[in-house]
C-alpha cells in the first residue's frame, strides 16, 4: 500500500534524507511491535507455566486409592447388645470390624507391631464410613458387606508414584512389609484408584484422604451472597447519585478521589477495619461468612462504583434528552432508559469485583476465617473458611498428600474464577450497545 502512494508523490519526498528518516521510522515501528509481541509472549509463557505446574501437580488429587474390604458386621465384634437405637449404633466399635476384616485378609500377620502397621494402611475414615452405612440401614448388622474404603494417604502416595519403591526402606514412609501387602492386594484386585468424590463433597480434614473442598466452597458462597446483596445495590445507587444527581462541587470531587483511593487500599486494611468494627464493636461472631461478606463488600464497593459510573457515562446524552423531551421525569428517564442501557456494564464490573473477592484471603485472616473447620457451614452465621484460605491451610500442612490437594484446590478456585470472568465477558458481548 505504501509503495503506490509513494510513487504518486512529488520527488522531494524521496530525497535521501527523507528516505533514511522514513526507514528509521519504519524500523522504530517494527521494533515497537516486536516489543509488544515479546511482552504478550512472556505473559502467555508465565501463565502457561503457572497452569502446567499447578495442573501437573494437582490432577492426581482427583483420584484416590481405595481398598475393598469384606466387613463382617457381627453384633459381637461391634460390641452391640440387644438394643438397636441410633445412639448405641453410633457408638459401636466399627474400628474393630474394619480391623477384623483386614486380619482375615492377611491371616499371617500376627505380631502386634505388624498389625498396627497393617491397620495403618486403611484410612481412619473407613470406620466412620461403615458407621454411616449402618446408621442409614440398621438391618445391615449381622450381615457381611463388601465396601470400598479409602486407603491411608501414604498408601495413596505410593499408588500414585509419589513414593519411590526403590529407595532404601528407612528412607521411605511405606516399609517393605507394607509394600508386600499392597502387592498382595493388587493381585487380589482389592486395591484400585477411583474418582475422589470425597474431595468435592467433604469439609476439611487432617487426613488428606478425607479432606474436601466443599466446606470452603459453601463458605465462599455465603460470603459472596452477602457481598453481592450489599455491594451491588449500594454501589449502583452511589454511582447513580454521583453521576446523575450530585452537583459538581468540591465535595463530590473529594468523594470521587476517595472512592478511587479506596480501590487501591491493601485488602488487609479492610480486614483490620472489620475486626475493629464488626467483631469488637457490633459483636458479630468470629469466623462467620457474614462478617467475611461485609468486609469483602467494603473491598468491592469502589470497583463496582467506578465500573457503574463508567457504564452510566457511556450512555449517550441523546437518550436522556429524548426521554426528557417526551415528558419523562428525571427519575423516569434514569430508571426507564439510562439504567437498562448501563446495566450490562454495571454487571460486568460487579462480576469482576466478585471474582476479586472470591480470591481474597488476607482480610479473612483478621476475622478468624483462617481456621480448621470440618462441618459444612449451614448458614452465614456458622463458622466457615473460604477457598483461598483452604488453599493456604493445606499448603502449610506437613502431610505429603496435601501438596497435590493444594494444587487441586487451586484448580477448583481457578475454574470458578474463569467461569465468572467468562460470564462477565459473555454479558458484555451479548448486551453491550455501541453508539
Partner 1 sequence: MRKTIAVAALAAVTLGGTAEAQSARDYISIVGSSTVYPFATVVAETFGKSTEFKTPKVESTGSGGGLKLFCEGIGVEHPDITNASRRIKSSEVDRCAGNGVTDILEVKVGYDGIVLANSRATDRLEISLKDLWLALAAEVPAADGSETLVANGAQTWADVNPDLPAVKIEVLGPPPTSGTRDAFVELAMEGGCKHFDWIKAMKKSDKSHYKAVCHTIREDGAFIEAGENDNLIVQKLDANPNAYGVFGFSFLDQNSDKLQGSLVNGVEPEFENISDGSYPVSRALYFYVKKAHVGSVPGIEEFLSEFSAEKAWGPDGYLADKGLIPMPDAERDQFRGDIMSMKNLELASN
CA distance 346 to 235: 9
Asked if 403 touches partner 1 (CB under 8 A), the answer is: yes
Q: Is 397 in the site for partner 1 (CB under 8 A)?
A: yes
Among the listed residues 76, 83, 108, 164, the single contact to partner 1 using CB under 8 A: 164
Asked if 372 is part of the footprint of partner 1 (rule: CB under 8 A), the reply reads: yes
Q: Which of 8, 32, 170, 250 binds partner 1 (CB under 8 A)?
A: 170
Looking only at Cα atoms, what is the longest distance across the chain?
112
Nearer to partner 1, 208 or 302 (CB): 208
Q: How far is the CB of 381 from partner 1 (least distance, A)?
A: 5
Candidate list 67, 238, 290, 355; residue touching partner 1; CB under 8 A: 290
Partners of 193 in beta bridges: 65
Check residue 165 for interaction with partner 1 (CB under 8 A): no
Q: Say whether residue 161 binds partner 1 (CB under 8 A).
A: no
Cβ closer to partner 1: 359 or 368?
368
88 binds partner 1 (CB under 8 A): no
Residue 398 near partner 1 by CB under 8 A: yes
Secondary structure (3-state) at 173: coil
The grid coordinates of residue 171 equal: 528412607
Q: Can residue 96 be called a binding residue for partner 1 (CB under 8 A)?
A: no
Question: What's the burial of 174, exposed, middle or buried (CB within 10 Å: 0-12/13-18/19+)?
Answer: buried
The least CB distance from residue 128 to partner 1, in Å, is: 5
- Length of the chain (residues): 435
Judged by CB under 8 A, the stretch of 29-37, 162-170, 314-322, 336-344 that binds partner 1 is 162-170
Is residue 283 part of the contact set for partner 1 (CB under 8 A)? yes
- Residues 24-83 touching partner 1, rule: CB under 8 A, are none
Termini Cα distance of the chain: 31
Does residue 206 touch partner 1 according to CB under 8 A?
A: yes
Give the separation between CA 312 and CA 294, rounded to whole angstroms. 26
Per-residue binding string, partner 1, 119-158, x by CB under 8 A, is -x---x---x------------------------------
Among 6, 146, 175, 396, which residue interacts with partner 1 (rule: CB under 8 A)? 396
CB of 318 vs partner 1, minimal distance in Å: 31
Q: How far is residue 88 from each of residues 75, 93, 94, 385, measured CA to CA in Å?
A: 11, 10, 12, 33
d(C-alpha 125, C-alpha 197), whole Å: 14
Question: Least distance in Å: CB of 317 to partner 1?
Answer: 29
Q: How far is residue 396's CA from residue 148's CA, in Å, rounded to a whole number? A: 30
Give the angle 148-154-156 at the CA atoms, nearest 5°: 45
Site for partner 1 in 351-370 (CB under 8 A): 368, 370
Neighbour tally for 194: CB within 10 Å: 11
Query: What mask, x for binding partner 1 by CB under 8 A, covers residues 100 to 119?
Result: ----------------x---
Of 120 and 359, nearer to partner 1 (C-beta) is 120
Binds partner 1 (CB under 8 A): choice among 13, 27, 34, 286: 286
| Neighbouring residues of 308: CB distance < 8 A, sequence distance ≥ 6 | 235, 236, 238, 239, 240, 243, 342, 345, 346, 349
For every residue of 6-73, DSSP letters joined together read HHHS-GGGGSHHHHHHHHHHHHHHHHHHHHHHHHHHHHHHHHHHHHHHHHHHHGGGGEEEEEEEEEE-
Q: Are 204 and 212 within 8 A, CB to CB?
A: yes
CB-nearer residue toward partner 1: 95 or 314:
95
Residue 90 dihedral angles phi and psi, to the nearest 5°: -65, -30
Query: What are the CA-CA distances from residue 72 to residues 75, 78, 192, 324 (Å)?
Result: 9, 9, 21, 81
Instruction: Answer for the pair 335, 320: CB distance below 8 angstroms, yes or no.
Output: no
**Count of residues engaged in binding partner 1, rule: CB under 8 A:** 41
Question: Which residues contact partner 1 (rule: CB under 8 A)?
Answer: 90, 116, 120, 124, 128, 163-164, 167, 170-173, 205-207, 279, 282-288, 290, 368, 370-375, 381, 383, 393, 395-400, 403
Amino acid at each position: 500500500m505504501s509503495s503506490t502512494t509513494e510513487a504518486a508523490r512529488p520527488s522531494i519526498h524521496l530525497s535521501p534524507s527523507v528516505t533514511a528518516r522514513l526507514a528509521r521510522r519504519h524500523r522504530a515501528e517494527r521494533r515497537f511491535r516486536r516489543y509488544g509481541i515479546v511482552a504478550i509472549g512472556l505473559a502467555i509463557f508465565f501463565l502457561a507455566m503457572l497452569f502446567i505446574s499447578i495442573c501437573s501437580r494437582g490432577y492426581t488429587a482427583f483420584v484416590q486409592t481405595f481398598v475393598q474390604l469384606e466387613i463382617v458386621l457381627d453384633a459381637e465384634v461391634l460390641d452391640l447388645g440387644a438394643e438397636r437405637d441410633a445412639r448405641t449404633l453410633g457408638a459401636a466399635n466399627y474400628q474393630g470390624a474394619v480391623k477384623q476384616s483386614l486380619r482375615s485378609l492377611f491371616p499371617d500377620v500376627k505380631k502386634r507391631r505388624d498389625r498396627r502397621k497393617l491397620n495403618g494402611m486403611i484410612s481412619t475414615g473407613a470406620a466412620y464410613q461403615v458407621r454411616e452405612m449402618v446408621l442409614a440401614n440398621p438391618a445391615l448388622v449381622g450381615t457381611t458387606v463388601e465396601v470400598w474404603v479409602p486407603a491411608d494417604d501414604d498408601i495413596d502416595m505410593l499408588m500414585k508414584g509419589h513414593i519411590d519403591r526403590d529407595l532404601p526402606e528407612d528412607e521411605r514412609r511405606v516399609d517393605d512389609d507394607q509394600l508386600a501387602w499392597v502387592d498382595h492386594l493388587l493381585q487380589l484386585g482389592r486395591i484400585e484408584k477411583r474418582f475422589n468424590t470425597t474431595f468435592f463433597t467433604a469439609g476439611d480434614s487432617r487426613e488428606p484422604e478425607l479432606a474436601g473442598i466443599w466446606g470452603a466452597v459453601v463458605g465462599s458462597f455465603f460470603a459472596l451472597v452477602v457481598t453481592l446483596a450489599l455491594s451491588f445495590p449500594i454501589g449502583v445507587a452511589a454511582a447513580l447519585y454521583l453521576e446523575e444527581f450530585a452537583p459538581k462541587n468540591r465535595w463530590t470531587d473529594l468523594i470521587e478521589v476517595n472512592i478511587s483511593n479506596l480501590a487501591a487500599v491493601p485488602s488487609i486494611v479492610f480486614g483490620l477495619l472489620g475486626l475493629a468494627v464488626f467483631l469488637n464493636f457490633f459483636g458479630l461472631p468470629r469466623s462467620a461468612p457474614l462478617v467475611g461478606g461485609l468486609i469483602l463488600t467494603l473491598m468491592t464497593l469502589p470497583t463496582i462504583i467506578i465500573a457503574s459510573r463508567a457504564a452510566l457515562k457511556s450512555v449517550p446524552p441523546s437518550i436522556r434528552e429524548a426521554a426528557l423531551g417526551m415528558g419523562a421525569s428525571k427519575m423516569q428517564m434514569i430508571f426507564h432508559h439510562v439504567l437498562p442501557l448501563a446495566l450490562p456494564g454495571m454487571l460486568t464490573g460487579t462480576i469482576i469485583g466478585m471474582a476479586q473477592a472470591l480470591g481474597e484471603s488476607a482480610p479473612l485472616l483478621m476475622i478468624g476465617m483462617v481456621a480448621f473447620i470440618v462441618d459444612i457451614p449451614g448458614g452465614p452465621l456458622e463458622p466457615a473458611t473460604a477457598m483461598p484460605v483452604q488453599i493456604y491451610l493445606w499448603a502449610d500442612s506437613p502431610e505429603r498428600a496435601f501438596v497435590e490437594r493444594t494444587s487441586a484446590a487451586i484448580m477448583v478456585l481457578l475454574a470458578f474464577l474463569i467461569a465468572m470472568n467468562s460470564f462477565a465477558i459473555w454479558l458484555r458481548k451479548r448486551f453491550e450497545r455501541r453508539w
